[in-house]
């Protein structure tokens, strides 16, 4: 009898926690959606609504340069790369900042959004819709893996690639257990509509410190990138599905990296503890036929914010390589 009573008590406590968490989450989701509204443009690609920001180049400086396309990493959105690069490149190049499928204000697109190839196909569709011509893609972390997938799927769309603190190859171990739970059907819905939002709000400050370590995040970073958008169930599930399937995805794609023959730049910090430079950055340098490596001593996983000047200079050198290659090809 005692065991039965304890089980009933446990069931009651869990039920109360889930109900209270669900009520609180519904209230916060409403507030987050009300305070964070889209301020970019939308395009429908293969039935999926994608959100992006386009910043045109000046006529004088941007005539010959390719469009720079930015793909953000996990747990983020296009505001992260905009915060780092919009002012740095203003007027010099045409810029395109994309909310990857399922992030920010972009729709996920169902199961296709769970694979690198699926996300790459939607990004490629957007580039074709916007008639960008060949672009230089700049991908951070998970976005770097999408960059590689895009290059493999649509090489004619890609003039060059920059990989910032990339994840690209299989690694020992996995990801946090809660991402696997959140990515599950049904259970994931319950989990993200009751538990994840209040917990994520409490853990976010330390999570930001950890991802920037050993360097400091910009003041107000979470607010500036509209981080609460991630706490919404659909966004959190998309993020968890990305991370839960990432190792399988890069295991499948990485043997094909030698096909990526476009000019490439790999940027890594020596103190990155989120992804291992010895596996990912050095792996890309080994596998990509036209890759150069930029190592930032003492930098962590977010060098586009903490070492922006160095990263911008590296991307500018990559663009110069792309332009020179195009001019050489045109002269032949």
- Domains delineated in the chain: 38-173+249-323 (3.40.50.1820)
**Per-residue pLDDT averaged across 182-210, rounded?**
95
**How far is residue 23's CA from residue 28's CA, in Å, rounded to a whole number?**
9
Q: How many helices (H) and strands (E) does the chain have?
A: 12, 8
pLDDT of residue 21: 76
Residue range 11-52, pLDDT digits in tens: 655 666 677 878 888 999 999 999 999 999 999 999 999 999
**Alpha-carbon distances, residue 314 vs 86, 187, 238, 299 (angstroms):** 16, 44, 31, 15
Question: Mapping DSSP to helix (H, G, I), strand (E, B) and coil, where does residue 51 land?
Answer: strand
- Whether 10 has a pLDDT exceeding 70, the answer reads no
Least confidently predicted of 36-40, 58-62, 182-186, 220-224: 58-62
- Give buried/exposed letters for 33-42 (b at 16+ CB in 10 A, else e): eeebeeebee
pLDDT of residue 61: 60
pLDDT of residue 324: 85
Residue range 244-262, pLDDT digits in tens: 999 999 999 999 999 999 9
pLDDT of residue 156: 97
Question: What single-letter DSSP state applies at residue 290?
Answer: T
Residue range 66-84, pLDDT digits in tens: 999 999 999 999 999 999 9
- Whether 317 has a pLDDT exceeding 70, the answer reads yes
pLDDT of residue 58: 82
**How far is residue 132's CA from residue 96's CA, in Å, rounded to a whole number?**
10
């Amino acid at each position: 009898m005692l065991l039965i009573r304890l089980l009933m008590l446990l069931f009651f406590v869990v039920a109360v926690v889930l109900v209270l968490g669900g009520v609180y989450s519904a209230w916060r989701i409403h507030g987050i959606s009300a305070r964070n509204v889209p301020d970019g443009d939308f395009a429908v690609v293969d039935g999926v609504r994608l959100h992006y920001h386009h910043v045109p180049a000046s006529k004088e400086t941007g005539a010959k340069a390719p469009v720079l396309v930015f793909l953000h990493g996990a747990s983020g959105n296009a505001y992260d790369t905009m915060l780092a690069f919009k002012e740095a490149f203003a007027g010099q190049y045409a810029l395109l900042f994309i909310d990857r499928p399922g992030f920010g204000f972009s729709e996920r697109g169902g199961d296709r959004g769970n694979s690198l190839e699926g996300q790459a196909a939607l990004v490629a569709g957007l580039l074709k819709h916007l008639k960008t011509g060949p672009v230089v893609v700049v991908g951070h972390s998970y976005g770097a893996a999408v960059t590689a997938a895009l290059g493999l799927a649509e090489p004619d769309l890609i003039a060059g690639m920059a990989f910032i603190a990339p994840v690209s190859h299989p690694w020992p171990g996995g990801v946090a257990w809660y991402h696997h739970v959140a990515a599950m059907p049904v259970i994931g819905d319950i989990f993200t509509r009751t538990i994840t939002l209040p917990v994520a709000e409490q853990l976010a400050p330390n999570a930001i410190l950890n991802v920037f370590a050993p360097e400091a995040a910009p003041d107000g970073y979470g607010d500036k990138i509209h981080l609460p958008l991630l706490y919404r169930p659909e966004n959190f599930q998309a993020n968890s599905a990305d991370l839960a399937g990432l190792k399988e995805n890069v295991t499948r794609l990485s043997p094909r990296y030698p096909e990526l023959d476009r000019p490439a730049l790999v940027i890594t910090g020596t103190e990155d503890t989120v992804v291992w430079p010895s596996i990912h950055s050095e792996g890309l340098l080994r596998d990509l036929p036209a890759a150069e490596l930029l190592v930032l001593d003492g930098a962590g996983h977010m060098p586009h914010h903490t070492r922006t000047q160095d990263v911008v200079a590296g991307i500018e050198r990559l663009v110069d390589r792309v332009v020179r290659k195009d001019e050489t090809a045109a002269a032949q």
